[in-house]
Amino acid sequence: MIRVGVVGASGYTGLELVKMLVTHPKFELSYLATTSGDTTIEALHSSLEGVVSHPVEKATVSSVVEACELVFLALPHKTAMGFAKGLLEAGLKVVDLSADYRLELETYEKHYCPHEDIAHLSQAVYGLPEYYKEALKTTQLVASPGCYPTATLLGILPFISYIDTTAPLFVDAKSGVSGAGKKLSETTHFVTVNDNIFAYNPLKHRHAPEIVEKIEKIHGVTMSVNFVPHLIPATRGELVSVYATLKEDIDPLAILKAHYANDPFVRVRERPVGIKQTAGTHFCDIFAARNERGLFVSSAIDNLLRGASSQALAAANLMCGYEEGLGLPRIPCMP
Ligand SMILES: NC(=O)c1ccc[n+]([C@@H]2O[C@H](COP(=O)([O-])OP(=O)(O)OC[C@H]3O[C@@H](n4cnc5c(N)ncnc54)[C@H](OP(=O)(O)O)[C@@H]3O)[C@@H](O)[C@H]2O)c1
């Protein structure tokens, strides 16, 4: 068994990690931490009472190093790299769920903050298993993708060579409120969100440069991406609609099926997809349709799982030489 820990265990993605690690056949949950510690996981998350009992410590680099071989950082950006640096120097495997190691330095500093661990930045592998499987098997550091980039990239990457890449890509995304983390704000307040749907950070969201950069790295083309996220009155789930212009006569579903034939966690669907069918799972469901030159691609994920914690676990499995799907949730919360 490999000893693993979660720093940020009181948060939403931390909770999802704990739920999967409790039953993981090869990982032993050996360390949990938050800012202040001095509690237990069942006290932080009453839903875990009777399921798991584990102390939660105040997070320090030395306590993580003592207890773990691999650690998940379910922390805000900036805080995450503050921990990662020392953990990597001590030889631990690190899976970071924040944005700290996802982007090239210049892009990161333009959209987030000055980077504090430049030495390790170039070592990070982007944790999208369908595209970086081999690199994930040998890395010490994983930059787990953002939730919107996960759904967008899995949907559009199979089509890049068939679309007009000189035209902008339009990405219309909708997310459940857990995407914003556990901290309450006016935007995520029940009264603001309930019976409502609205765009936030239109054309300015930080996930747009992540989408642009990964299309560039994987396909060698620079595309302009018009990205508009919306908040919807749901707890979890994310639906991304991508609109592009075709330059060839293609069968979109046939392309998707061929592209993901060996990827068990991408389900190509014959009908438009929805967030409920993927809620509680690691699946990304994708549908695509076209008219004369218009291409519509729609992908659905659970933002807390495929968009964060189960994707981080899939990367950790690969880093440790295990099968990608070990311990990943497959049964949706339906109805
Ligand atoms: N939510 C999503 O759908 C989603 C999807 C993809 C990626 N992510 C990324 O994943 C990360 C975690 O997101 P989240 O939604 O789980 O956030 P969250 O619910 O706000 O939880 C954040 C966690 O970080 C802990 N923390 C903050 N500062 C800390 C410190 N100095 N030392 C130790 N613990 C500290 C908090 O602990 P305390 O209780 O002590 O404050 C809390 O457990 C973020 O970088 C986010 O961008 C989230």
Q: How far is the CA of 77 from the centre of ligand 1 (A)?
A: 8
**Is 309 within the bounds of a domain?**
no
**Is 333 within the bounds of a domain?**
no
Residues 28 and 104 in one domain: yes
Query: What CATH number has the domain bearing residue 173?
Result: 3.30.360.10
User: Which 8-state DSSP code applies to residue 306?
Assistant: I
147 is catalytic: yes
Residues 7 and 97 in one domain: yes
* Domain, as residue range, for 190: 148-303
Residues 89 and 207 in one domain: no
**Measuring from atom 1 of ligand 1, which residue has the nearest CA?**
179
Percent of the chain past pLDDT 70, that is, above it, reads 100
CA pair distance 200, 322, nearest whole angstrom: 39
CA pair distance 280, 269, nearest whole angstrom: 18
Residues 14 and 116 in one domain: yes
Assigned token pair, 13: 């993605």
Residues 189 and 118 in one domain: no
Q: Check if the beta carbon of residue 73 is closer than 8 Å to that of residue 127.
A: no
Residues 158 and 277 in one domain: yes
Q: How far is the CA of 256 from the centre of ligand 1 (A)?
A: 33
Strand-pairing partners, residue 173, are: 229, 240
Q: Check if the beta carbon of residue 334 is closer than 8 Å to that of residue 278.
A: no
Each residue of 139-180: pLDDT tens digit? Answer: 999 999 999 999 999 999 999 999 999 999 999 999 999 999
**CB under 6 Å to ligand 1: residues?**
7-14, 33-36, 59, 74-77, 79, 97-98, 146-147, 178-179, 181-183, 303-304, 307-308
Structure-token match 């980077």, residue found: 115
Residue 134 makes CB contacts below 8 A (sequence gap 6+) with none
Percent of the chain past pLDDT 90, that is, above it, reads 99
**Measuring from atom 15 of ligand 1, which residue has the nearest CA?**
181
Q: How far is the CA of 75 from the centre of ligand 1 (A)?
A: 4
**Is 298 within the bounds of a domain?**
yes
**Is 216 within the bounds of a domain?**
yes
Which of the listed residues 35, 40, 83, 232 should we mutate to test ligand 1's pocket, taking the one with most ligand atoms within 8 A of CB?
35
Cis peptide before 335 (omega within 30 of 0): yes
Each residue of 210-252: pLDDT tens digit? Answer: 999 999 999 999 999 999 999 999 999 999 999 999 999 999 9
Residues 109 and 155 in one domain: no
Q: Check if the beta carbon of residue 284 is closer than 8 Å to that of residue 267.
A: yes
Tell how far CA 192 is from the center of its chain: 25
Q: How far is the CA of 263 from the centre of ligand 1 (A)?
A: 29
Residues 187 and 119 in one domain: no
**Is 128 within the bounds of a domain?**
no
Each residue of 189-212: pLDDT tens digit? Answer: 999 999 999 999 999 999 999 999
**Band of residue 318 on the pLDDT scale cut at 50, 70, 90:** very high
pLDDT at 309: 98
**Is 211 within the bounds of a domain?**
yes
Residues 175 and 61 in one domain: no
Each residue of 258-269: pLDDT tens digit? Answer: 999 999 999 999
Residues 296 and 152 in one domain: yes
pLDDT at 68: 98
**Is 199 within the bounds of a domain?**
yes
Residues 292 and 168 in one domain: yes
68, 113, 147, 284: which one is catalytic? 147
Instruction: Quote the number of domains for the chain.
Output: 2
**Band of residue 299 on the pLDDT scale cut at 50, 70, 90:** very high
- Measured between its terminal Cα atoms, the distance across the chain in Å is 35
Residues 108 and 163 in one domain: no
Q: Which atom of ligand 1 is nearest to the CA of 10?
A: 43
Query: DSSP letters along 112-178, please?
Result: S---S-HHHHTT-EE--HHHHHHHHTT-SEEEPPPHHHHHHHHHHGGGGGGB-TTSPEEEEEEE-GG
**Which runs of E-coded beta strand occur in the chain?**
2-7, 27-34, 39-40, 55-58, 70-73, 93-96, 125-126, 141-143, 169-175, 198-199, 225-231, 238-245, 266-268, 284-290, 294-301
